[in-house]
Amino acid sequence: MGENVHTSAWGHMTGAAGVVDSLRRAGVERVFGIPSIEGTWLFDAFDASKIDFVVVTQEQSAVFMADACARLTGELSACVLAPGQGLAKAMAAITQARMDSVPVVVLVAGAGPRGMGDDRSSSSMSRQLAMVRSVAKRVFRIDEPEMVPSAMSRAVQLARQGEPGPVVVEIPQDVQRGMARMEGTGFRQGPRVLSEQAANDLSRAIELMDRAEQVGIYAGAGSFEALDELKQLAEKIQAPVATTLSGLGALPSIHKLSVGFGAGQAGSLVAQAALSMCDLILAVGCKFSDMVSGGIDWQPSAPVIHVDIEPGTAGANIKAQVAVTAPSRLALRYLLDNIKPQQHPRMLDLIREKKRNQRALLRQRKDWTDAVDPVKAYMQLREALAGDDVLVLDAGHHEMFAFASYEVQAARTLLAPVDYQTTGFAVPAAVAAKLTCPDKRVVACIGDGGFLQTHVELLTARRCDAAPVVAVFADHSLGMVKAFHERVLGRQTAVDLVPVDYEKLAESLGVEYLCVRNDGQLVEGIRRALTMEAPVVLELRVEYRDIAPYVRVVAQLEARRLPRAASLKLGARLILKKLFNKS
């Protein structure tokens, strides 16, 4: 995020041109969307601009694509949706961006003051802002063309400021068409300073940290703006760094202090071992969402210093000894400048040993000759991809296996729908990632259920010459749901998928196809997929013979939350199943 002030003259133009010009001034170079009759003037304005407009196949994909762009670059991104139904279809994706704190401006046409679209109308535009208000970070409507520069400036600022998130802006047709003299100050981002309160809180944090036997760090994606400071601080006090799932890569997996994800029992084994030796946790740029703890009723065993940029977030989901509201970079810099160095050779030994054991366990897995082991697939992908190549995940069991077996070597190289777990994210996100970073290799890993929801965006990949590899983890079932059903309920319902001929599907989409049937074919299959200069569907015939460690822990927690009668029934069913191998 630059701190530029764009002061070039705006001039006399339509509201639609003002909106597009505003996005350009905010640094947006590409916009994803679906046209609509109501948004015609906006699309004319995009057509006349230097912004690359990518027409997608399904509205939610436009948001997923903008979301992926923003996650990858750390910059604001934008999309345009058809109003009403289009916006409604994108609700899950907007919620996803909100829950994972991604800065996206969502533009949508609206009715004019006397047009259709008020609350009595059956028009698609009626009540659309009310609908989206509960999921977006902020929504508003631009009432006059003259207001475009200031309103867009506000939208951009709101999307980026504090905890980032999606902001929905409705632009009525008369505002799109109307001419006005546009004036504005651009997108001023003043220098960020630590408040006096934050400095006082950090001084208290330093006292605690200097007195602690061993500090552990827990970093979320909010720490991506402070990668150097995070690394330097961790090294200065020899603190293990665990991350949230979204924060994976904040410290490269190969760093001697990096311990993987998680702060609780659902975390990686290395993180659990390292953090259990800590008598103080410094949490930075994270919310302590239940995705990482496995439940909202969880509290770390050590006292916590919690730093987050969004007022009200520090100390909200867990009890914090010190809650600091401050940007990660400023807070970490302050700590770094004022903290005493510490040496912890035992911690370094422990991390080294636990990591060695974990890698040995992975390497010991025998090759399967009749199916693909999802763990082996990730190990092979890790071998084949460079540290700054991009892996995109979908929601599901394949995702949880990735968290357990794919080492993330840099921030912003793993894109995953974490806190809202929306299936269908990975294909559009991978197309956008490849468009955004054409020089990096981009591989999407997605379950067959998720793939069948948004695979049509491979047409968008073709349309704009993006060539991601889409690895379909084909187990012919909704794997994650199946695993939960089996573990928590001891039975399965409605989890099987209709078999699909992925080769024919790929052919009909006009993309390449490769199939890997067992572990022995992984190296060559992945190598060939990565050398094709076209979008490719890589079918991996996987089986989930184990349950992903994260899913096992969360399933156990869920099972414990069942009412007593249901829990006894489940226990009996699991015993019967074990004895007679049937449900």
Ligand X SMILES: Cc1ncc(C[n+]2csc(CCOP(=O)(O)OP(=O)(O)O)c2C)c(N)n1
Cα 391 to Cα 384: distance, rounded to the nearest angstrom: 12
Q: Which residue of this chain has its Cβ atom nearest to ligand X in the complex?
A: 447
CA distances from 332 to 232, 237, 338 (A): 9, 12, 10
Residues 56/80, Cβ–Cβ less than 8 Å? no
For ligand X, which is the closer residue by CB, 167 or 393? Answer: 393
For ligand X, which is the closer residue by CB, 148 or 400? Answer: 400
Closest approach of ligand X to the CB of residue 57, in Å: 16
For ligand X, which is the closer residue by CB, 394 or 512? Answer: 394
Cα 156 to Cα 145: distance, rounded to the nearest angstrom: 17
For ligand X, which is the closer residue by CB, 178 or 424? Answer: 424
By DSSP bridging, strand 536-540 and strand 469-473 are parallel
CA distances from 517 to 406, 521, 538 (A): 20, 7, 11
Closest approach of ligand X to the CB of residue 90, in Å: 12
Closest approach of ligand X to the CB of residue 349, in Å: 36
By C-alpha distance, which of 72, 92, 60, 90 is closest to 30?
A: 72
Cα 308 to Cα 284: distance, rounded to the nearest angstrom: 6
For ligand X, which is the closer residue by CB, 184 or 424? Answer: 424
For ligand X, which is the closer residue by CB, 395 or 444? Answer: 395
For ligand X, which is the closer residue by CB, 155 or 445? Answer: 445
Closest approach of ligand X to the CB of residue 448, in Å: 5
Query: Phi/psi zone of residue 309: left (φ > 0), alpha (ψ -120 to 50 degrees), beta?
Result: alpha
Closest approach of ligand X to the CB of residue 317, in Å: 21
Closest approach of ligand X to the CB of residue 431, in Å: 17
Angle between helices 328-338 and 227-237 (to 10 degrees): 30
Residues whose CB falls within 8 Å of the CB of residue 265, separated by 6 or more in sequence, listed in order: 272, 294, 553
By C-alpha distance, which of 474, 466, 416 is closest to 449?
A: 474
Cα 224 to Cα 386: distance, rounded to the nearest angstrom: 20
By DSSP bridging, strand 11-14 and strand 179-182 are antiparallel
For ligand X, which is the closer residue by CB, 223 or 422? Answer: 422
Closest approach of ligand X to the CB of residue 58, in Å: 12
For ligand X, which is the closer residue by CB, 131 or 481? Answer: 481
The burial class, CB within 10 Å (0-12 / 13-18 / 19+), for 134 is exposed
Closest approach of ligand X to the CB of residue 134, in Å: 17
Contact footprint for ligand X (CB under 6 A): 92, 394-398, 421-424, 447-450, 473, 475, 478-481
CA distances from 24 to 19, 28, 156 (A): 9, 5, 11
Residues 522/530, Cβ–Cβ less than 8 Å? no
Closest approach of ligand X to the CB of residue 469, in Å: 17
